Structure 1
């Protein structure tokens, strides 16, 4: 009898566990594109804390379209508590089209085998040349690790383009151009060897020098951009590395900016599969006052072309050596740069000897968002002149201004 009771107790406990981990919630997702043009690989991002009645930790999901085909998805833990906060999938949707999809959320973990379409990493530049990957790194004021991090900071890519952001006071966004649409960083590490170059792998295509680079976020002293050189703790973290988007967090805690209280700032750089642009979300832990900052694009080469517009677009085109110390290995590269800043953040536009700039602010708010993009002339399927690059900017901006509407039922 004792053995029987013990077995019944174990069966009961197992049933409770199975029930808990077998929890599911089924939803209908309506996606509507109100824009005049169709969209390819359009992101659909669902905040799980906004799903009514969801009372379990989501560990897997099924996203099914109207034809019954299962779509790739991604679950991202944004705050580092080991619980998914956002679910992401991509959809191709026509102009003025409405789509209805089925979403099943589950508490049961499941290994997925979706094809990776993006990649991100931070690697150490160790003496044994093993270059181990790390998830995050933090350094106190006065510590310099720029040369100790392989490719000098976090790097990330889609099939079209790749970026890195320096882990020093400049925090410049640097660019990697490709010949072909594929993932390359895990193989090249941002630095293609002569052998890989012969196989038409890409490479760094921008020399920023003392400029704003392409969409870097900096302070503003009333005359020019200023670096983030008085930060108590600086850090970077890979939040997500695919299969559909990368998310990189850049942290600047205790930034003594001006005469006020130090700022605690985090930037989130997000790139989606199938997209050449990078979304930059800048957040603060308290509402901003009248502080202003700046971003924009640099003037490239000796004869640059470009402009900065009051409607939020800045773009440029030019050719220059991407690495001034290795001119023999890396000849001049023609590239196009672009930044889009929503008008509500713009205080004024500035053109100086090096840059096309926006001075930005968000008084009373804790966040602002803008977008960074670029092209390399070397791309097989890309832009090959200033005219074609500049001609694409308005449509790019218009598409960003008209994201799809998402409704859960």
Structure 2
């Protein structure tokens, strides 16, 4: 009996030790005390929170949701596998980047970014703004880390809806899961997608869109090609569109939607071209 208990304890410790993910949420003025929850009736803590919103990471990328009217998903790409958020705080120095740290090569602009969520009212995209309150939450399990953002009181078709976006990263798994919920039970048409810029390469399949190119970013020490892709179930959507800055997917009326997202860059050793990224997606 004692042996069984010890074995179970060791197994549990081993599993926990294998969690190669992390979550991060903290006040910009204080990088020591990490939070699990924060909220704002204005819906905008962009300048108050570290890395402008909650963030999660696996070995290959970090993701954040902007705590502002954008509520978009942004990417931090890495040159080598490892966890960097707690030390780099999303913005490593130029010297650190030269030593092999990752960087913020990705630029969201006014788009959904990579897999971000907005709504569709039948004619146009509706941002998750204004709100009566916006809440962020981060957490970890033995093998995952997740972040959530709830936008409460979003005006939609003459009513107000509460929308939750949850992003989960997994140990030893390159892609992340994005989930959107209509918490009030009202069916909505979600909008998601992936942004791109001039001269980007694009590859599309029945259930994915992948892009590759240089983002006009001015934060990183250098500009390098970055790849990104969104994987989805085509049965969940009624329309695909391209507004010149992003490929958008418009869902059927629903209370729940899920996609998977992935990003890589030319600086890493594995998925450092669009062809390699697409081949990985097709597996």
TM-score (norm 2): 0.89
Offset at residue 179 of structure 1 (A): 1.2
Q: Which runs of 5+ in 2 are unaligned?
A: none
In the alignment, which of 230, 237, 244 is matched to residue 353 of structure 1? 244
Cα root mean square deviation, aligned? 2.5
Report whether the alignment pairs 1:372 with 2:261: yes
Residue 59 (structure 2) pairs with residue 118 (structure 1): no
Does the Cα contact within 8 Å between 1:160 and 1:274 map onto a contact in 2?
no
Whether the aligned pair in 1 keeps the contact of 2:137 and 2:149 (CA below 8 Å) is: yes
Alpha carbons 2:43, 2:67 under 8 Å: kept: no
| Kept after mapping to 1: 8 A contact 2:19/2:144 | no
Give the length in aligned residue pairs: 280
1:315 equivalent to 2:210? Answer yes
Q: Aligned to 1:349, what secondary structure does the other structure show?
A: strand
Q: CA deviation at 1:388?
A: 2.1
**1:6-58 deviation per Cα after TM superposition (whole angstroms, max 9, x unaligned):** xxxxxxxxxxxxxxxxxxxx9xxxxxxxxxxxxxxxxxxxxxxxxxxxxxxxx
* Cα distance, 1:63–1:314 mapped onto 2, change above 3 Å: farther
Q: Which of 337, 354, 379 is matched with 2:228 structurally? A: 337
1:305 aligns with 2:201: yes
- Equivalent residue number for residue 279 of structure 1: 177
Deviation at residue 156 of structure 1 after TM alignment: 1.0
C-alpha separation between the residues in 2 aligned to 1:217 and 1:314? 16
User: Matches of 1:226 and 1:307 in 2, distance apart?
Assistant: 27
| Native 8 Å contact 2:180 2:258 kept in 1 | yes
What residue in structure 1 maps to residue 192 of structure 2? 295
Which has the higher Rg, Structure 1 or Structure 2?
A: 1
What SS does structure 2 have at the residue aligned with 1:204? coil
> Which residue does 2:162 correspond to in 1?
264
CA contact (8 A) 2:43 2:130 kept: no
Shift of 1:222: 4.7
Judged with a 3 Å threshold, the aligned counterparts in structure 2 of structure 1 residues 223 and 319 are, in CA distance, closer, same or farther, namely: farther
Paired with 1:143 and 1:154, the residues of 2 have a C-alpha distance of 13
Q: Shift of residue 62 of structure 1?
A: 7.1
Give CA-to-partner distance per residue, 1:107-141, whole Å, 9 cap, x none.
xxxxxx72541111101011xx545321110110x
Question: Post-superposition, which runs of at least 4 consecutive aligned residues in structure 1 deviate over 6 A?
Answer: none
Select the structure with the greater relative contact order (CA < 8 A; seq sep ≥ 6): 2
TM-score under structure 1 normalisation? Answer: 0.63
Offset of 1:350 from its aligned partner? 1.2
- Which residue of the partner structure matches residue 194 of structure 1? 94
* 1:210 and 2:110 aligned: yes
Aligned residue for 1:151, secondary structure, equals helix
Contact kept? 2:43, 2:69, Cα under 8 Å: no
**1:70 and 2:41 correspond:** no
Counterpart Cα distance in 2 of 1:161 and 1:63: 32
User: Counterpart in 2 of 1:225?
Assistant: 125
